[in-house]
Amino acid sequence: MTEPLYLVDASIYIFRAYFSIPDTFVDNRGEPVNAVYGYTNFMLELLEKQPQYISFAFDESLNTCYRNDIYPEYKANRDLPDENLKFQLEKCQEITRLLGVHHLSLQRYEADDIIGTLHTMFAADRPVIIVTRDKDLGQLLRADDILWDFAADLRAGPAEVKEKFGVHAHQIADYLALAGDSVDNIPGAPGIGAKSAAKILAHFGDIDSLYLAIDEIENIGLRGASKAKQTLLECEQRVRMFQEITRIKCDIDMEVSLEDLEPSPASASELKSFCDAMNFGKRVRERLAAIGQTSLSQHS
């Protein structure tokens, strides 16, 4: 069997750790490192499954993404990280690098776009497991791919996406453009909720086809069809803008080979220094040593 490719939406698990683990975990300066601790344990659990090909994608484009140029209100409902969280985000990338695991972050693109591009580059002849809690990434799924919410151990393929949202995986971006996505501060088309968006896409297939034959909307059994038609015509420009920002980019110019996604041995000295700085205990050090194929004794 062809080995699957693991693509990890790393930042979502860092934030999960930051908000769910007490900040009593501190480094050797007394600064909270709860997110680093939680993320490291998450990464270890995943790497202990010994994936042959894996890449971790991080978000650095918290207010510099090209989507903010298109729609300045994009994710404007989210607070920017404070100094401690910035520090912890950097340390999470550092421990990933020190473990010899492929990782990427870009100023103009989100983790979703990195994952989408790697999916396009390397998924032609192998299944892909996207480790995430983000519904947006469902749009990438092919028949043998899955979304894996690692923390909850929930897996979803195209059938589960269809059951949950009422649309096919490849329609997720258009579904969010129409219905809106409060998580990303995308309002969608006024009055077009989730059920209406699903019904529209079930008939038309996508937003482009909807606007090519919008008169048909009155014949698909949609409640308030005339008003919906008027609304969609009035806000076509905004709907198409939302369509542009909900679609994951899959063509970023990146120089990456499949071999780059194979984990490599860690640097023992650097990894030990990191563990000392983060005040990691014996159990975490032992697990890191096993993954990194090195020795990280607290007293060596």
Neighbouring C-beta atoms of residue 182, cutoff 10 Å? 9
Average pLDDT over residues 256-270: 92
CA distances from 292 to 56, 80, 254, 263 (A): 16, 33, 26, 9
172-225 pLDDT, tens digit each: 999 999 999 999 999 999 999 999 999 999 999 999 999 999 999 999 999 999
Residue 299: the pLDDT is 46
262 has pLDDT over 60: yes
Residues 41-52: tens digit of each pLDDT: 999 999 999 999
75: pLDDT strictly greater than 60:
yes
Torsion sign, CA atoms 183, 186, 187, 188: negative
pLDDT given at position 68: 96
Instruction: Write the DSSP symbol of residue 81.
Output: P
3-state secondary structure of 153: coil
Per residue in 24-36, pLDDT (tens digit) is 999 999 999 999 9
List C-alpha distances in Å: 190 to 66, 94, 117, 249. 24, 43, 32, 26
Specify the pLDDT at position 294: 57
Whether 286 and 40 have beta carbons less than 8 Å apart is answered as no
Task: Show the CA angle centred on residue 52, arms to residues 49 and 55, nearest 5°.
Answer: 90
Identify the band that residue 267 occupies on the pLDDT scale cut at 50, 70 and 90.
Answer: confident
10's tokens: 């790393």
Q: Domains in the chain, please, with CATH?
A: 5-164+250-292 (3.40.50.1010), 168-246 (1.10.150.20)
> Could you report the per-residue pLDDT of 105-157, keeping only the tens digit for each?
999 999 999 999 999 999 999 999 999 999 999 999 999 999 999 989 999 99
pTM of the model: 0.94
- Confidence (pLDDT) at 297: 53
Q: What angle do CA 76, 77, 80 make, to 5 degrees?
A: 75
Per-residue confidence at 40, pLDDT binned at 50, 70, 90?
Answer: very high
Percentage helix, strand, coil for the chain under 3-state DSSP, each rounded to 5: 50, 10, 35
Q: Does residue 82 surpass a pLDDT of 50?
A: yes
